[in-house]
Amino acid sequence: MKTVEAIVRAGHRVASGESKTDVRFPEGTIRMQAPFFKERGFDLRAYFDGDFVYGTLNLSIAPHSFAIAQPEHFFDSIKWTPLQPAENFFMTPAQINFRQQNYKAIIYIPDPATKPAHFQAPDIIEVIAQTIPDLHYGDKVNLTYNPKAIVITLAENGF
């Protein structure tokens, strides 16, 4: 396992259903996708013992970026909404440390090759996590991850 420092950033807010600009998914995309992950053998509720947020944390690892390597879970061709084509998803267990407390997490990566919208900057890792009290945009966290699942390197453009 390796650890990288990250900063919590605002995202598109579609995963949680709180987007003001894209109102197609009022329940949030994670809540809509979860039954399909469960059907394929990965139950978010069981993984988190029921304590997690139906949304994603957007963690900036700048000046680093990441690449998908061998994540623990791969789900192909999930047709979770009639509003867009099927998508592939990569997920791998992780941990977030905030204020000296560890929280269970899973790195959640919609496959860029099949994702139709809401793209992230190359330094943003999306994470589904346990409820983390008092976490706000701009807070620093440490993300512990499996380096065989994702590879983190210094970004080429040096941002």
Averaged pLDDT in 10-residue chunks for the chain of 159 residues: 95 65 73 94 95 93 93 94 91 97 96 68 92 96 97 73
Q: Which residue carries 């197609």 as its tokens?
A: 24
Domain span including residue 128: 2-154
pLDDT number for residue 159: 45
For residue 125, give the CATH number of its domain.
2.40.30.30
- 139 lies in a domain? yes
What is the model's pTM?
0.87
Q: Count the domains in the chain.
A: 1
Q: How far apart are the first and last CA of the chain?
A: 25
- 21 lies in a domain? yes
Decide: helix, strand or coil at residue 39. helix
- 134 lies in a domain? yes
pLDDT number for residue 119: 55
- 159 lies in a domain? no
Identify the bridge partners of residue 154 per DSSP, sorted by sequence position: 64
- 68 lies in a domain? yes
In order of 26, 31, 37, 94, 142, the CA distances from 97 in angstroms are: 30, 24, 26, 10, 5
- 17 lies in a domain? yes
- 62 lies in a domain? yes
- 147 lies in a domain? yes
E-strand stretches of the chain? 2-9, 57-60, 64-68, 73-78, 87-98, 101-110, 124-129, 140-145, 150-154
